[in-house]
Amino acid sequence: MTRLLTLRGAALAVALGAALTLGGALVFEHGLGYVPCKLCLTERVPYYAAAPLALIAALLPPRPARFLLGLVALVLIYGAGLGVYHAGAEWGFWPGPNDCGGGSGAGPADVADFLKKLETVRPVDCTAAAWRFLGLSLAGWNAVIAAGLGFLAAAAALVAQPSRGPHQPGR
């Protein structure tokens, strides 16, 4: 049991979780056609930071690895806060941002195409959930995943056992 949570294992699990979460967001966007709003895109930023930082932490000695995983924990807990804010705006608990709209896709080829596209395109609304599973929107699931990964990184930074390799005598 004491060997269950190692610094290297936790760091790799956080990196993998962050990468899979980003991959899932990209599948929803590019594979299933869900256009992300401004908040959706902002919620990805902590994962973009956490995945490589956690990978680096997996390669470092215990003291800097703990520091880096602590930083990753803070970044992911911030990401969870973004998810809670977004999900709360979707449920109408508080207002969303005034400037929410966004998305992806290729721009029009010329001005005539642009004007025609303006007639049919609606900006993505941060307060409308495009998809729900088990009662949670993508923003809600983001909050759950980011919090879980953040707490894993924090636990590893605070209590995890160092991974003992052939050249590591201990802490």
Q: What is the CATH number of the domain that holds 82?
A: 1.20.1550
What is the model's pLDDT at position 108? 57
- Tell me whether residue 164 is in a domain: no
Does 101 reside within a domain? no
Report the pLDDT value the prediction gives residue 47, as an integer from 0 to 100.
Answer: 96
Residues 6+ apart with CB under 8 A from 126: 37, 38, 39, 40, 86, 89, 90, 96, 97, 100
58 inside domain: yes
**Domain count of the fold of the chain:** 1
Q: Give the pLDDT of residue 129.
A: 65
Domain assignment of residue 167, yes or no: no
The two structure tokens encoding residue 103: 């998305």
Q: What percent of the residues of the chain are helix, what percent strand, and what percent coil, each to the nearest 5?
A: 65, 5, 35
Instruction: Say if 122 falls within a structural domain.
Output: yes
The answer to whether residue 76 is domain-embedded is yes
Within-domain flag for 103: no
Domain range for 123 is 7-95+109-159
Residue numbers in the chain where pLDDT is lower than 50: 1-4, 102-105, 166-167, 169-171
pLDDT reported for residue 21: 94
pLDDT of residue 127: 66
Q: Nearest to residue 122, comparing CAs of 39, 44, 42, 35?
A: 35
Task: Evaluate whether residue 100 is within a structural domain.
Answer: no
The helix (run of H) or strand (run of E) holding residue 69 is: helix 62-91
